[in-house]
Amino acid sequence: MAYVGLVPISLDENGMRGRLPFKPELTNNRGDVHGGTLMSVLDFAMGSAARFGNDTGSGVATINMNTDFLSPGTGDLSIEGRCTRRGRSIAFCEGIIYDSQGQIVARATAAFKILQRRPGGD
C-alpha cells in the first residue's frame, strides 16, 4: 500500500479507516483513479479489519471479493473497511470508498480465510 499511497487513519474494533491522496500515476485514461487501485485499497482495508483482534491467526487470505463501482474516483478518497462476521476460519467484511463530497465511489464485500499460526512460528 506504500506504492499506492494509502494513509492509515485508524484500526480498531469498528474497522479500518484510511485516506487515499490523488496520484495521477494511479489513474485510467479518463483521469479517474483506476478500478484496480480501488479494489486493492478495499481488499487491504477489509483484510485489516478481518485481522484486527484475531489472536488465533497470523493473517488472512482473500477467498472472494465482489466490488461495485458507483461513481468515478476523482481527487482524494476516504476508505472504510469493517468485519461484519468472524468465525474460526472465515471472516466476512465490507468496504466503502467515498469521494471528498461523501459520495460513494465503490463498495465491496469479501470473505477471508483466517490463516492459523504454524507450530513454532511467531
Asked if pLDDT for residue 119 goes beyond 70, the answer is no
Could you tell me the CA-to-CA distances from 105 to 10, 15, 31, 51 in Å, in that order?
20, 19, 14, 25
Q: Quick one: CA dihedral 68, 74, 5, 3, positive or negative?
A: positive
Domains for the chain: give ranges and CATH numbers: 7-116 (3.10.129.10)
Enter the pTM of the model: 0.91
**pLDDT, tens digit (0-9, with 9 covering 90-100), for 16-54:** 999 999 999 999 999 999 999 999 999 999 999 999 876
User: Of 49, 93, 91, 48, which is closest to residue 67 (Cα–Cα)?
Assistant: 93
Alpha-carbon torsion (80, 85, 88, 90), positive or negative: negative
The 10s digit of each residue's pLDDT in 93-114 is 999 999 999 999 999 999 999 9
Give the integer Cα–Cα distance in Å for 20 and 118.
Answer: 34
